[in-house]
Amino acid sequence: MSQKDRTERLLNLLFALMASSRPVPKHVLKDAIDAYRESTSDEAFERMFERDKDELRSMGVPVETVEGSDGIGGIEGYRVAADDYALPAVDFTADELAVLGLAARVWEQASLGPAAQRAMRKLETLGDGSVVDGPVGIETRIATAEPSFPVLLEALRARRRVRFSYRKPEDPAPEPREVEPYGVASRRGHWYLIGRDTNRDAMRVFRLSRVVGAASVVGAAGVYDIPAGLDLGGAIASSSAGRVGALTARLRVAVGRGNGLRRRAISVDPVGDGDVVVLTYSDDEALAAEIVGHGAAVVVLEPASLRDAVVRRLRSAAGISAVTS
Amino acid sequence: MSTRPAPEPAATRLSRLLALVPWLSANAGITVDEAAAHFGITAEQLQADLWLLICTGRPGHMHGDLVDIQFWDDDGRITVIDAQTLDRPLRLSPDEAASLLVALRVLAQVPGPHDRAALAGATTKLEAAAGEALRAADGVTVAVDTTHDPMVTEAVSRGLGEGRRLHITYVGAVDERTERDVDPMRALTLDGRAYLEAWCRRAEAVRTFRLDRIEAVEVLDLPAEVPSDAVPVDLGAGALRPDGPPVTLELAAEVSWVAEENPVESVTELADGRLRVVMPVADERWFVRLLLRMGDSITVLDRPDIVERVRAEALRALAAYDV
């Protein structure tokens, strides 16, 4: 069966399902569509029909299965209601379509790019028909090369679980995970899945680049709720540094240097041939890494814990091994 | 094209056919070439799609049951005569709705001269049209870095909107403060981080400036004059990625993120969980800072001169501590 024949068969099935407001029984569909009528056996027809129905549904066509009213649980037939099928009529102004075009470009060369283009072709039919150029002087890009993206979006829509193989950074062997997705979030170019890990019965954050192979949707729809008030951005930010700190550091910074530190400073006071810079922070190791990058231009005055972290890192960079007893 | 591409899946083609009919109806009289370009396919592919469409329709396939599209006139124009039940597009799928809504919500947060009222209007209407697919869009968040000064954002947007020259105080990646006059070209936000792309009159070249590193900005009473041959940054090919001679490193497992955060040419996994990485280094000063930060969890294999610079700088810094 060629792709052309299969496309034609799917299209004819769709027309048949939309042609009547009443459910269409399976035997009627078999008679109505050439490829079904000419199938070699009943089993071959059944297989073809089931596959086609699934294919239409996976594209988002709302194929309804209507139960019979005879009380014995049989299926009366199938239908596609025109109002469920079609995009609701919304009038976009030319300016709004232009800004939508700008939005579609955000995913250019990313895995959501083709989806954004398909959406645009649909929305353009709702405007006044004119195709306008987007605004100039602004461009936004978000990278997604994550093959699991469409699967995660479908899981979020249907509230279904996903299953995937996940590799932790320090453990080369991937492990199977089953997760109820609460959301996906991107920060500084990386994508994360936030959800309840069903085996660990706890919320976890997964980095999508560490998912091995493709994720798949499993189980029934509507099996979980997303906790009310969940802050996805907060969930991933709290797993990394960058929060407002409760600790205070005093640093001696050479003139004209340590500009990133100076920007966050509470105070900068000239002392001798440099400045004393005071700032708040939350994590000794994170700030120490930044300070060490400035070499001799930034020296920690206090606290001792930060000073020790910096000295340890400098010794490591100088190739002086830690003293072992 | 010399090689024949793999045939597209039937679902991909069917999606296009379902979008094509209402789009052609809304754009009556468009030519085959224009429509093909808009859908990103060849004229031959479009004609094959149209031939397929006119062979389909309601059961019976009698006159009046079939899709009727006229597209064989010499002027190449397409007229949809009978769309049957395909006169409206299929509702948005979760990935289609999410792609646009997430992007609109990001655009609402980023600096730039774009039309905020149209943005709000488009977002409200699209949310209404998305139906159940809205649940997928609501599950996607893109964190936009907002550590830059709102005054900087405002001045940059004004410079772009009014086409005026800016005077900025900028601190680059290697901790150097400079003052320069720049003629703004575009507000760029790449993976959540905001930049100003401008013609820099000091460098006489196109430069990108991270907004969170602009310490001060003044909108000058002068028009921006971007040379007509100034080439904007190519946002497709790994935008803003530094280019430079390759250096070979070995990373300990706990700092494997260095290979994820930075553009690398190759990554090879070694038996003990370490990674061997080849990384382009555009600026050696930046690279020395990275190595100072990472200590002995990074080993440089092929640049003894850089290793020595790092060691000397670390010893000089240690001398300031009484250890």
The three-state DSSP-derived secondary structure of chain A is: CCHHHHHHHHHHHHHHHHCCCCCECHHHHHHHCHHHHCCCCHHHHHHHHHHHHHHHHHCCCCCEEEECCCCCCCEEEEECCHHHHECCCCCCCHHHHHHHHHHHHCCCCCCCHHHHHHHHHHHHCCCCCCCCCCCCCEEEECCCCCCCHHHHHHHHHHCCEEEEEECCCCCCCCEEEEEEEEEEEEECCEEEEEEEECCCCEEEEEEHHHEEEEEEEECCCCCCCCCCCCCHHHHHHCCCCCCCCCEEEEEEEECCCCHHHHHCCCEEEEECCEEEEEEEECCHHHHHHHHHCCHHHEEEEECHHHHHHHHHHHHHHCCCCCCCC
Per-residue pLDDT, A170: 63
Structure tokens at A9: 């068969």
d(CA B117, CA B103): 16
Q: Across residues A47-68, what is the average pLDDT?
A: 91
Label residue B272 exposed, middle or buried (CB < 10 Å: 0-12, 13-18, 19+): exposed
Residue A53 lies in a domain: yes
Name the CATH topology of B246-318. Alpha-Beta Plaits (3.30.70)
Run of H or E residues at B105: helix B94-109
pLDDT digits (tens, 9 = 90+) for B240-281: 666 678 899 998 877 877 887 777 888 888 877 788 999 888
d(CA B15, CA B12): 5
Per-residue pLDDT, B193: 85
Nearest neighbour of B192 by CB, restricted to A109, A188, A315: A188
Whole-Å CA distances, B21 to A163, A269, B143: 37, 70, 38
d(CA B243, CA B279): 9
Per-residue pLDDT, A36: 92
Residue A131 has pLDDT above 70, yes or no: no
Q: With contacts defined as CB-CB under 8 Å, which chain B residues touch A98?
A: 115, 118
Domain closes at, from A204, A237, A270:
A237
Mutate to test the interface with A, among B55, B100, B287, B322 (most CBs of A within 10 A): B100
Sign of CA dihedral A41, A44, A46, A49: negative
pLDDT digits (tens, 9 = 90+) for A31-55: 989 889 998 899 999 999 999 999 9
Domain closes at, from A145, A165, A180:
A145
Per-residue pLDDT, A239: 59
Q: What percent of chain A has pLDDT over 70?
A: 90
Q: How many domains does chain A have?
A: 4
* Beta bridge partners of residue A300, listed in sequence order: A251
Q: Across residues A168-180, what is the average pLDDT?
A: 83
Do A278 and A225 fall within a single domain? no
Please state, as a whole number, how many other Cβ atoms lie within 10 Å of the Cβ of residue B307: 16
Do A71 and A54 fall within a single domain? yes
pLDDT-based confidence at residue B237 (cuts at 50, 70, 90): low
Q: With contacts defined as CB-CB under 8 Å, which chain B residues touch A316?
A: 295-297
Per-residue pLDDT, A181: 96
CB contact under 8 A, A318 and B311: yes
Mean confidence (pLDDT) of chain B: 88
pLDDT digits (tens, 9 = 90+) for A280-292: 888 888 899 889 9
Do A155 and A229 fall within a single domain? yes
Nearest neighbour of A170 by CB, restricted to B48, B58, B253: B253
CB contact under 8 A, B129 and A87: yes
Domain spans in chain B, listed from the N-terminal domain onward: 10-82, 94-138, 150-223, 246-318
Nearest neighbour of A318 by CB, restricted to B91, B235, B314: B314
A89 to chain B, closest Cα gap in Å: 8
Domain closes at, from A120, A145, A170:
A145
Q: With contacts defined as CB-CB under 8 Å, which chain A residues touch B97?
A: 119
pLDDT-based confidence at residue B21 (cuts at 50, 70, 90): very high
Nearest CA in chain B to A55: B11
**C-alpha angle with apex B13: B10 to B15, nearest 5 degrees?**
110
More confidently predicted of B63 and B89: B89
d(CA B184, CA B220): 12
Per-residue pLDDT, A180: 96
Q: B162-166, long-range: CB within 8 Å, 24+ apart, which pairs?
A: B162/B219, B163/B223, B163/B224, B164/B219, B164/B220, B164/B221, B164/B222, B164/B223, B164/B224, B165/B220, B165/B222, B165/B223, B165/B224, B165/B225, B166/B196, B166/B198, B166/B217, B166/B218, B166/B219, B166/B220
Q: With contacts defined as CB-CB under 8 Å, which chain B residues touch A61?
A: 90
Instruction: Reduce the DSSP state of residue B77 to 3 states and report it.
Output: strand
Amino acid at B50: L
Q: Across residues B230-240, what is the average pLDDT?
A: 73
Phi/psi at B177 (5° precision): -95, 130
Q: With contacts defined as CB-CB under 8 Å, which chain A residues touch B117?
A: 95
Residue A323 has pLDDT above 50, yes or no: no
Residue A284 lies in a domain: yes
CB contact under 8 A, B316 and A296: yes
Length of chain B: 323
Q: What percent of chain B has pLDDT over 90?
A: 45
pLDDT digits (tens, 9 = 90+) for A291-300: 999 999 999 9
Same fold, B10-82 and B150-223: no
Q: Based on C-alpha coordinates, what's the Rg of chain B?
A: 27
Nearest CA in chain B to A103: B103
Q: What percent of chain B has pLDDT over 70?
A: 95
Residue span of the structural domain in which A294 resides: 247-317
Structure tokens at B276: 């061997």
pLDDT digits (tens, 9 = 90+) for B88-111: 999 998 889 999 999 999 999 888
pLDDT digits (tens, 9 = 90+) for A89-116: 888 888 899 999 999 989 887 778 889 9
Name the CATH topology of B150-223. SH3 type barrels. (2.30.30)
Per-residue pLDDT, A134: 65
Run of H or E residues at B310: helix B304-318
Do A116 and A174 fall within a single domain? no
The set of residues, in sequence order, having a beta carbon less than 8 Å from that of A29 and lying 6+ positions away, is A13, A16, A17, A36, A49, A78
Amino acid at B33: D
CA B44 to mean position of chain CA atoms? 30
Q: With contacts defined as CB-CB under 8 Å, which chain B residues touch A153?
A: 94-95, 98, 136, 139-140
Nearest neighbour of A156 by CB, restricted to B56, B139, B288: B139
Label residue A131 exposed, middle or buried (CB < 10 Å: 0-12, 13-18, 19+): middle
ipTM of the complex: 0.79
Per-residue pLDDT, B285: 86
CB contact under 8 A, A119 and B38: no
Per-residue pLDDT, A172: 67
Nearest CA in chain A to B35: A121
Phi/psi at A43 (5° precision): -65, -40
CB contact under 8 A, A315 and B53: no
Half-sphere exposure of A270 (CA within 13 A, CB side): 4
Run of H or E residues at B20: helix B10-26
Q: Across residues A235-258, what is the average pLDDT?
A: 75
Residue A324 lies in a domain: no
Per-residue pLDDT, A109: 73
Among candidate residues B192, B196, B201, B193, the one with its CA nearest the CA of residue B214: B196
Structure tokens at A312: 């340890």
pLDDT-based confidence at residue A63 (cuts at 50, 70, 90): very high
Q: With contacts defined as CB-CB under 8 Å, which chain A residues touch B171?
A: 259-260, 263
CB contact B263 to A (< 8 Å):
no
Residue A242 lies in a domain: no
The matching CATH number, chosen from 3.10.350, 1.10.10, 2.60.40, 3.40.50, for B10-82 is: 1.10.10
Note whether B49 and B86 are within 8 A (CB).
no
pLDDT-based confidence at residue B209 (cuts at 50, 70, 90): very high
Note whether A37 and B47 are within 8 A (CB).
no
Note whether A194 and A186 are within 8 A (CB).
no
pLDDT-based confidence at residue B186 (cuts at 50, 70, 90): very high
CB contact under 8 A, B118 and A93: yes
Do A62 and A127 fall within a single domain? no
Nearest neighbour of A3 by CB, restricted to B10, B142, B293: B10
Least confident of A79-88, A123-132, B298-307: A123-132
Do A155 and A230 fall within a single domain? yes
